[in-house]
Structure 1
Amino acid sequence: MARYNLGTVVSFEVTRTLTKRRFWIATLIVPVIIGIVVALIVGANSSTDNSVSSQKNQKFSFTYSDASGVVDPSIVKAVGGSKASSPSAAIAAVKSGKLDAYFDYPADPAKQATKVYGVDKGIFDNGKYSSVASSILTASAEAKVHDAKLTTLVKGDLPVDATTYDSSGAVSGGIGSVIPPLLFLAIFYVVILLLGNQMLTSTLEEKENRVTEMILTTLNPTTLIIGKVVSLFIVGIVQMLVFALPVVVGYLFFRTSLNLPALDLADLQLDPWQMITGALLLIGGFTLFTGTLVAVGAIMPTAKEAGQIFGVMMALIFVPFYGVTLIVSDPHALIVQVFTWFPYSAPVTAMLRNGFSSLSPGEAIGVIVEQFVLGVVVLRLAVRLFRFGSIEYSKKVSLSAVLPSRKAARAAR
């Protein structure tokens, strides 16, 4: 019967949530916005590239003077330019509109700015002057090198294959070993941010609708709370899949347009210990935060009052990021240790340290045990609070009234 009730609760909660219009509006609005932003960026980048390309290839009347001796007259002639008789005469011709532009190359173009004078063609079209002046100088410099290898070296876009070793002498994984365990941290943030408010109101909804007494006549409070937690996890998976869809589509089809780096899965290194630790920290942290928010919802009479506690809980998971530099560079600092062991900052701090391989096995086991033990304790407390707070509609539930006093405990013995 208990299993049947648990399945009923999970099925009811998931179905009720997924059939709500506001759930899908809230879930889809971010992917839709991301899609719109991606489309705008792709369009803007494409327009910018086309504009820059067209500006570099535009032909207009111009003259130049070259104090550096770098500019190749044949390259200038190919794009429709000629050498100026004098700088003052060229500038005067531009001012009068007889000449479109005049380029004044200094003695040391690497340290001194090239002066460009042009007829105003509009704020966007004026960029063609600087583009053409720069392309002439670059092409002239490359022509003087007369060596493809040296030209590549001058451009500076050189391939480098770096290998680093950890303290044991083994080849370290670099960024490829950091990304996989840190994915658990990203999932933790997504789940808490998306479902935090729903965790808080999961028990408040029945209380505000005055139906908890009727529910508890046919259902065990423990079964109800566990069913709600399981349903929240299922709903969270649905939301994560919906959120991931535009990211995957954007990377697969618009990576070049969005200037995203190529991701070679072969470079990713999966360390079994780090992955297991990250997964357990994620589940333990999720259990603790879910239990805490459900307990808060059981205490508070309305969602408005519960929202104040929700803000504090959300702040706690972001506190470690204020010291992220210290967490990465000096994981044994006192403040980092406080963040590592304080229950509500521990999941984020420990997952960060786990990703950067600074979380020792002892610390990992300690934090994981702490999260699961406190999570179970808080969930049991949430069940007790819900049982006593289900009929309290006008004020907060007093913990002293719910938890047995020492005197009552001695009497029971």
Structure 2
Amino acid sequence: MATAFLDQGVDTRPTNANGGGFWQSGHWPTLVAAFLYFDLAFMVWVLLGPLAPDIARTLHLTAAQKGLMVATPTLAGAVLRVVNGLLVDRIGPKRSGAISQIIVIAGLLSAYLLGVNSFGGTLALGVILGFAGASFAIALPLASRWYPPEHQGKAMGLAGMGNSGTVLAALFAPALAKLFGWNTVLGLACIPLGIVFLVYLAMAKDAPNAPAPKTLIEYLHPLASADAWWLMGFYAVTFGGFVGLAASLPIYFTDQFKLTTIVAGYCTAACVFAGSLVRPLGGALADKIGGVKTLSVVFLLAAAALTGVSIAPTLPVALGCFVVAMLALGTGNGSVFQLVPQRFQAEIGVMTGLVGMAGGIGGFYLASSLGLAKQLAGSFAPGFLIFAGLALAALLGLTLVKASWRARWTSGAQI
């Protein structure tokens, strides 16, 4: 039966799927399945962040080790996104997603049964969780291939709203760790993951217009275009900022303001929820006014908010700045992926992997640099200020390329 689901899925697409409004223009069960898969994958991808204070106390980790521990899943996810991008174009997004989910569930279950007893063990677990982060390169093309260019921003935004799973981790992981111990949380996570896996098998369906498989050299062909590198750089700031903060904020709130892990989790959830909520709105806004205009405001707001965080004297001020930063970065995530399919529609699978990889690298940099800044300088401020500078550099780059993009891109959608 599982094989049948992998091959067929549930096809409830309307007969007028190529016309009408957004919901009539694609395959909504696949969009829902992509969202659920992405949501639970992101929940476990950042799971080490909310558990970090407890893990650090148990294993006696330094500030730099804590930063590296929560950053490792983002780096592993970045590398694996390229692999998943290749798999999507070779065997299809549905099969690729099924394989990835099985690996994550098996890895978490093994960690729960065997235990994680050293810093090296946390890094090994982080690599396994990277498969969850790499879901980005599967869920987005799974949904995107069903929708025409004029609805790409909304489709990618709704599927990408699965990054709200980071809210679930921040809300529930600290409380569950207090009740049952942090190692047990790893096993408990397998329950919702297993349920969503079955739903995914039943509802997801590969689009019929998938591009023909290419050779490895052809997969990497987009890297010959400067446009690919620009899009990767922009996403390294928007998504890198989002996931880097999602992983690091529990550590920041507990270290900076001496909050309990549960209260720090609530504060983190509020920030992450803001960024997750606006991702589809960012895609829709980019559909309406253009991804370039939207990103210009995003980078400016993110830089200002992160600068504010670096000098925030109290928890309410810091929390307010983080919410603004996450709202901007979440909007930027949707905006970048309104632009990607306009330029690389035929290579959307591999480009999703490449751009997603860049986002993961950005998140790894931010999370690890905050830990290093705290250990070396005694403050998180230098890490925030440097990333604010990167947002301004991205704004400058966007200003340099926007005229060329508008002249050369001919998808018919807003740029």
- Do the two structures share a fold, i.e. TM-score over 0.5? no
Higher helix share: 2
Task: Give the TM-score normalised by the residue count of structure 2.
Answer: 0.28
Higher relative contact order (CA 8 A, sep 6+): 2
Q: Which has the higher strand share?
A: 1
